Amino acid sequence: MLKHLNITITGKVQGVFFRAHTLEEAKKYHISGFVRNEPNGKVYIEAEGESEPLSHFLEWCGIGPEKSSVERIQIEEGPICDLSGFEIRK
């Protein structure tokens, strides 16, 4: 079943290549959407995909890349937006 998730990640998640690694993980799990840094130091992701791949993607988001330190991950379901591809946004 296709789902759309709005994900906010808090912790040491900027300046550690979190967005680049998120792009790699999204491609690996065939997730569509985008990732961007927020002015408040958080990372925001919109992700669309099938339930099981999204579950694996979320597991990774809770850990992040090697130099990051994820303190909190907030997940909200949203309406399907028919996103295609995955990109890093400024």
Residue pLDDT tens, the chain, 90 long: 999 999 999 999 999 999 999 999 999 999 999 999 999 999 999 999 999 999 999 999 999 999 999 999 999 999 999 999 999 998
Active-site residue, selected from the candidate residues 19, 36, 40, 89: 19
Q: Is residue 34 part of a domain?
A: yes
DSSP state of 74: E
Report the alpha-carbon distance of residue 27 to residue 29 in Å, rounded.
5
Q: Is residue 59 part of a domain?
A: yes
Q: Is residue 53 part of a domain?
A: yes
Q: Is residue 60 part of a domain?
A: yes
Number of domains in the chain: 1
Residue 19: active-site member: yes
Place of tokens 């995909």: 49
Report the alpha-carbon distance of residue 50 to residue 52 in Å, rounded.
6
Q: Is residue 63 part of a domain?
A: yes
Q: Is residue 67 part of a domain?
A: yes
- In this prediction, residue 71 carries a pLDDT of 98
Report the alpha-carbon distance of residue 66 to residue 34 in Å, rounded.
21
Q: Is residue 17 part of a domain?
A: no
- In this prediction, residue 52 carries a pLDDT of 97
Report the alpha-carbon distance of residue 79 to residue 62 in Å, rounded.
22
Q: Which of 58, 4, 65 is nearest to 33 (CA)?
A: 4
Residue 37: active-site member: yes
* CATH at 46: 3.30.70.100
Q: Is residue 16 part of a domain?
A: no
pTM above 0.75, yes or no: yes
